[in-house]
Structure 1
Amino acid sequence: MIPKLTEKISLWQLFILIYVFEIGSSVVVDIGSDAKQDAWIAILLATGIGAVTIVFYHYLLNKKEGKNLFELFEFCFGKYISKVFTFGYIIYFFYIASRVMRDFGELLVSSIFEKTPIEFISITITLVIIYLLYLGIEVLGRTSEIFLPYVFFFLIMVGLFILFSGEIQFENLQPVLAEGIGPVIKAVFPQLMTFPFGEVVAFMTIIPYVSSFKHAKKVSVVAILFSGLMLTYTTIVLITTLGAEMKARATFPLLSAAREISLLKFIERVDLIVVFVVMFGIIVKVSVYFFAGLKGLEHLFSIPYRAFIFPMGTIIAFISIAISHNFAEHIEEGLVFVPYYLHLPFQYFIPLLLLPFLLWKTRQKNKKVNK
Structure 2
Amino acid sequence: MVSDTDLFKDIRPYRDDEVAGAIQRLIHDDEFVGAIAKYRFSTLSGIGGPVIKALIRLYLSWRWRKLKSVRHIQLEVASYMEKMIARTTSGVTYSGLEHIDPSQGYVFISNHRDIAMDPAFVNWGLHSHGLDTVRIAIGDNLLRKPCAAELMKLNKSFVVKRSVKGPREMMKAFSELSAYVRHSIDEQQSVWIAQKEGRAKDGFDKTDPAILKMFYMEGKREKIPFSDYIKTLNLVPVSISYEYDPGDQAKARELYAKAEQGAYEKREFEDVESIVQGIVGQKGRVHVAFGQPVQGDFETADQLAEAIDKQIYANYHLFPSNLAAAGDTTAAQQSADNGKALQLFEQHMAQIPAELKALVLAMYAQPVFNKNKVL
Answer 1 or 2: which has greater strand percent.
2
TM-score of the alignment, normalized to the shorter chain, above 0.5: no
Q: Between the two structures, name the one with larger relative contact order (CA 8 Å, sep ≥ 6).
A: 1
| Structure-1-length-normalised TM-score | 0.26
| Structure-2-length-normalised TM-score | 0.25
